[in-house]
Structure 1
Amino acid sequence: MHEMSIALAVVGQVETAARAVAGEDADPPGARSVTLRVGELAGVVPDSLRFCFELACADTLLAGAELRTEHVPGAARCEPCGADWATGLPPDLCCPRCGGGASELTAGRELEIAEVRWSRPACTAPSMED
């Protein structure tokens, strides 16, 4: 289950950001919630990721934090004819206009931290938005 390695990486990145902002002598802020953008073609099961995230947060600055996910639908573009379409699942990579193969996946492979909400309102930690 690679969702656990993803959850551990997210926790590590958020903890690193909190400590960097707090400085060496300050108490770093905890996180109330973390929002991830998850593409439908990323091969991630959001429910499994939530379960793993809860386990990964134990005894960290993120203990008790909520994981929120934003679904990003898959999309493709055909270079020869310029058509754009939703790929769906399983992904349809043939152009609906000209029948050619998808030249470029334009969305749906995302797996990124979109936002962190910190436990202290006055915290100066970055929001970690795109």
Structure 2
Amino acid sequence: MHEMSLCESIVQIIEDQARAQQFSKVRRVVLDIGALSSVDVGALRFCFDVVAAHGVAQGAALDIHTSPAQAWCMPCATRVDVTRRADPCPLCGNHQVVVEGGDAMRIKELEVD
């Protein structure tokens, strides 16, 4: 389960920012997770509560937004959204698409005191 190590990294970033920006409590964490990131959202929620239990993010609400993956369709010469790496272009059905993103996860917003 790599969600535990992801949560440990998230909480470490939050703790580092709490020291740098001098806040003492995190009320809400907003994450943006790409559709191709292979993150189990349920496991991530559970792990976040466990890892954040004794720090500035203890009890923080976790809002998770999933962003679509994007690919460049060579025949259409346009950027399209895809849900899997092997998806064809939703416009022309061609499989000559190059996935350009959608596997990242980032902290998008923190609501702090």
Give the alignment's TM-score, normalised by structure 2. Answer: 0.86
Q: In percent, how many aligned pairs have the same letter?
A: 31
Q: Aligned partners of 2:95, 2:78: CA distance in 1, in Å? A: 10
Show structure 1 runs of 4+ deviating over 6 A. Answer: none
User: Does residue 1:77 correspond to 2:81, yes or no?
Assistant: no
2:49 corresponds in structure 1 to 54
1:103 corresponds in structure 2 to 98
Instruction: Give structure 1 stretches of 5+ with no counterpart.
Output: 23-27, 121-130
Give the alignment's TM-score, normalised by structure 1. Answer: 0.76
- The Cα RMSD (Å) is 1.9
1:63 to 58, 64, 76: 58
User: Does residue 1:42 correspond to 2:37, yes or no?
Assistant: yes
Q: Aligned partners of 1:58, 1:17: CA distance in 2, in Å? A: 17
- Give the 5 Å matches for 1:109-128: 109-118=103-112, 120=113
8 A Cα contact 1:81 1:98, kept in partner = no
Q: Of Structure 1 and Structure 2, which has the larger fraction of its residues in strand?
A: 2
